[in-house]
Amino acid sequence: MSRIGNNPVAIPDGVTVDIKDNIITVKGKLGELTQEYSGVTIEKDEEGKIILKPNSLTKENKSKHGLYRSLVYNMIEGVSKGWTKELELVGVGYRASNQGQRLDIAIGFSHNIVLDIAPEVKVETISEKGKNPIIKLTSFDKQLVGQVAAKIRSFRKPEPYKGKGVKYVGEQIRRKAGKSA
């Protein structure tokens, strides 16, 4: 049995959970998410908690037990509080700006990279004098926020010698020593 899967998921106020035909739907003040599931049984108890049980003790169903518990937890947290990722642009002349859902980043290429962000993700750019520009992504869908952040980071990953590139705020970059003369 999964240790994570055994923990019940509390449903906060303002969030409704519907379970029908192997599809769980979570609605909250920030949005609505659905997830299809198999191999587990999802039930609501009278205390307002969601309990997951594997259908059988096969290896596949035991692994899905913890997976679907985490997915349901992330859905509930997302529609009630939301998820945020922050990216920092480290490098001389690196800039970021946005007009609505269109993100414009200059990270050392001959042309700026213009990226249209999904409407579910809110984009905010923070540029202060003397500090690195920060791109802040916010949404109710954790998977979508992570995917958009990974796409932006993939344009120029931080390099290990000077640390230049697009990194997550708080990420530690493993640095290497340069050439020894």
pLDDT in tens, 42-89: 999 988 899 999 999 998 988 899 999 999 999 999 999 999 999 999
Q: What is the CATH number of domain 3-80?
A: 3.90.930.12
Between 154 and 2, whose confidence is greater? Answer: 154
CA distance 123 to 84: 10
Inform me whether the pLDDT recorded for 123 exceeds 60: yes
Question: 174 falls in which pLDDT band (50, 70, 90)?
Answer: very high
Tell which CATH architecture fits domain 83-168: Alpha-Beta Complex (3.90)
Q: What local confidence, expressed as pLDDT, does residue 1 receive?
A: 54
For 95-118, the pLDDT digits (tens) are 999 999 999 999 999 999 999 999
CA dist 132 and 25 (Å) reads: 39
How far apart are the C-alpha atoms of 117 and 144, rounded to whole Å? 10
Rounded Cα–Cα distance for residues 166 and 88 (Å): 6
Spell out the domain ranges in the chain. Answer: 3-80, 83-168
